Structure 1
Amino acid sequence: MLPQDRQREIMKQLLEFRTVKISDLSRDLNVTRETIRKDLYEMEEKGLVRKVHGGAILNKANLETKYTNRKSTNEAEKRSIAKKASEFIEDGDTIYIDYGTTAWFFTREILNKKNLTIITNSLPIANEIIDYSDFEVIIIGGTVRKNEKSLFGPIAYRGIENLYVDKGIFGIGGIDLNAGYTNVHMGESEVSRLMMTHSQKIIVMADYSKFNTITMNKVAAIEDVDILITDVNIDDELLKQLKEMNATVITVEPDKGALNE
């Protein structure tokens, strides 16, 4: 088994059990304890795990709260980011909307648009727009991930093969200058990765809390994204470094008034 395959299996166990023991991993993966220690060291260097005596625990950055609870986390920032992203959508566009809570807020911002064709792998987003007569809604099929209520897997990947959009709207789990854009779930990340290659313009929405965070699965490099929309709470030095990498970054002021709607 290759190191990346072992580490993928270790991450799978961590996502399920939150903790792993070196002795158990050595037995299950049929390698020495020293090999497992090296794997855990590399994973800790990537920010995926935290080593503890005799094993490792999952880095908090890789723990997801339930979808409904995450909507209220940094809600003012998410709403403002979503509103700015909606300004890039024109009547008649064909767009892809990724899963996630910021993407859900984005969907609420485009309800006044006309003649949109919307592709999504998110059941909550599809449910939000399904009754609007000005929208043609295409749901990517696949296996349902219950925590996120998103669709992924071989059926989804095959469905994406012949779908292309004017603009792809994506949320993200983490952003790091070296690791790029990353997400927690392997299947969802693959859907995002494929749809990015099928989008003429890639727009990523991320509040300040997503920066300097690395989750397990790489979705894109910094230079792959056309527009990154975040809020003014982003660290100034990090913003400077992103712009030095020729990233187009738009910052918005969180709209506290939106919370009173």
Structure 2
Amino acid sequence: MNERSARRLACLAEALAERGSLHLAEAATLCGVSEMTIRRDLAAGDGELVLMGGHLVRAADPRYAPAYDLDDQRDRQAAAKRALCRRAAARVEEGDTLFIDCGTTLMPLVAELAGFRELTVVTYALNVANAVARHPGLRLVLLGGLYHPASQSFGDDDMARVVARLGINRAFLSAAGVHPRHGLSCFHFHEVAPKRAAIGAADERILVADATKLGVIRPARFAELEEIDLLVSDAEPSRLPRGVASLAPA
């Protein structure tokens, strides 16, 4: 590796120590070179910095974790997720348009909606869409794009604009990490755009997260805690973030 490459990698490592992740385009701009040059620098480096979903992260960063796989997560905290979704569903009113996030946390929510006759569900998650399609009283809006098998969800650059055009009463959001300083995060960077769009479009933003997600940081940060109107969690009240309205264990 030449000296200029080493200086660029050192600069990027310093930036990542503060910010956690950098989009490849941001890294190139910061160093005043092309994205291809950054890729070459990484290939010549010692593996300290890696690309993950188009974003640069430090391999040793505690926020960096093996990729989330929906099938692996399906049975984890299953009873807690059902109980949380039952409480979250109490917020729903007939005639609502709901955004339902991807992952396994919110899957039980669809079953809680079965008794409604005038609901519209917006989602980018295939597993959620399949569940909604089985209920004739629920109207489905499936956001498309490139399919990501690990999370059974879609990603597209235009998705945020599509969501912004919809009238959403309530956005039900999931997160792999809920941290008092670092906010809400997930494993996959393609999920950030639809999550951000739903937060911006919805009248009420509801985060459903079991206790294992609290205090955790994942690679793709998508919101501040203050952007959430209500946190539904089974964590003890002493562990819940301050300043955020919460539904604690009954």
Whether these two folds match at TM > 0.5 is yes
- Alignment map for 1:2-151 (pairs within 5 Å): 3=15, 7-8=21-22, 28-29=41-42, 56-57=59-60, 59=62, 62-151=65-154
- Tell me how far apart the structure 2 counterparts of residues 100 and 26 of structure 1 sit (CA, whole Å): 31
Pairwise CA distance, 1:129 = 1.4
Identify unmatched segments of 5+ residues in structure 2.
1-7, 25-37, 51-56
| Matched positions, count | 217
Pairwise CA distance, 1:164 = 2.5
Letter in 1 for 2:76: T
- Tell me how far apart the structure 2 counterparts of residues 6 and 134 of structure 1 sit (CA, whole Å): 43
Task: State whether residues 174 and 213 of structure 1, in contact with CA within 8 Å, keep that contact through their aligned partners in structure 2.
Answer: yes
Q: 2:245 aligns with which of 240, 244, 248?
A: 248
Task: State whether residues 167 and 201 of structure 2, in contact with CA within 8 Å, keep that contact through their aligned partners in structure 1.
Answer: yes
Q: 1:180 aligns with which of 183, 188, 195?
A: 183
User: Which residue does 1:237 correspond to in 2?
Assistant: 238
Task: State whether residues 26 and 32 of structure 1, in contact with CA within 8 Å, keep that contact through their aligned partners in structure 2.
Answer: no
| Cα-to-partner distance string for 1:215-254 (whole Å, 9 max, x where unaligned) | 11221111110000000xx255332xx23x2x1011235x
- Tell me how far apart the structure 1 counterparts of residues 159 and 217 of structure 2 sit (CA, whole Å): 25
Between structures 1 and 2, the one with greater helix share: 1
Task: State whether residues 84 and 252 of structure 1, in contact with CA within 8 Å, keep that contact through their aligned partners in structure 2.
Answer: no
Pairwise CA distance, 1:8 = 3.9
What secondary structure sits across from 2:81 in the alignment? helix
Letter in 1 for 2:249: V
The alpha-carbon distance between structure 1 residues 208 and 28, as it changes in their structure 2 partners (threshold 3 A), is same
- Tell me how far apart the structure 1 counterparts of residues 93 and 199 of structure 2 sit (CA, whole Å): 19
- Tell me how far apart the structure 2 counterparts of residues 112 and 151 of structure 1 sit (CA, whole Å): 28
Identify unmatched segments of 5+ residues in structure 1.
11-24, 41-47, 50-55, 254-261
Q: CA RMSD in A?
A: 3.0
- Tell me how far apart the structure 2 counterparts of residues 119 and 85 of structure 1 sit (CA, whole Å): 17
What secondary structure sits across from 1:197 in the alignment? helix
| Cα-to-partner distance string for 1:29-67 (whole Å, 9 max, x where unaligned) | 48987xx86x79xxxxxxx76xxxxxx457487334531
- Tell me how far apart the structure 2 counterparts of residues 252 and 134 of structure 1 sit (CA, whole Å): 30
Task: State whether residues 141 and 159 of structure 1, in contact with CA within 8 Å, keep that contact through their aligned partners in structure 2.
Answer: no
Task: State whether residues 68 and 187 of structure 2, in contact with CA within 8 Å, keep that contact through their aligned partners in structure 1.
Answer: no
State the identity as a percent. Answer: 21
Letter in 2 for 1:237: S
| Cα-to-partner distance string for 1:161-220 (whole Å, 9 max, x where unaligned) | 312300000111101000011111111122101111000000000000001111112211
- Tell me how far apart the structure 1 counterparts of residues 115 and 151 of structure 2 sit (CA, whole Å): 26
Letter in 2 for 1:141: G
Letter in 2 for 1:28: D
- Tell me how far apart the structure 2 counterparts of residues 9 and 98 of structure 1 sit (CA, whole Å): 23
- Tell me how far apart the structure 1 counterparts of residues 198 and 64 of structure 2 sit (CA, whole Å): 24
Task: State whether residues 80 and 252 of structure 1, in contact with CA within 8 Å, keep that contact through their aligned partners in structure 2.
Answer: no
Moved over 3 A (4+): 1-10, 29-33, 56-61
What secondary structure sits across from 1:100 in the alignment? coil
TM-score by length of 2: 0.76
Pairwise CA distance, 1:159 = 2.0
TM-score by length of 1: 0.73
Task: State whether residues 189 and 217 of structure 1, in contact with CA within 8 Å, keep that contact through their aligned partners in structure 2.
Answer: yes
What secondary structure sits across from 1:102 in the alignment? coil
Task: State whether residues 237 and 248 of structure 2, in contact with CA within 8 Å, keep that contact through their aligned partners in structure 1.
Answer: no
Task: State whether residues 61 and 213 of structure 1, in contact with CA within 8 Å, keep that contact through their aligned partners in structure 2.
Answer: no
- Tell me how far apart the structure 2 counterparts of residues 26 and 172 of structure 1 sit (CA, whole Å): 29
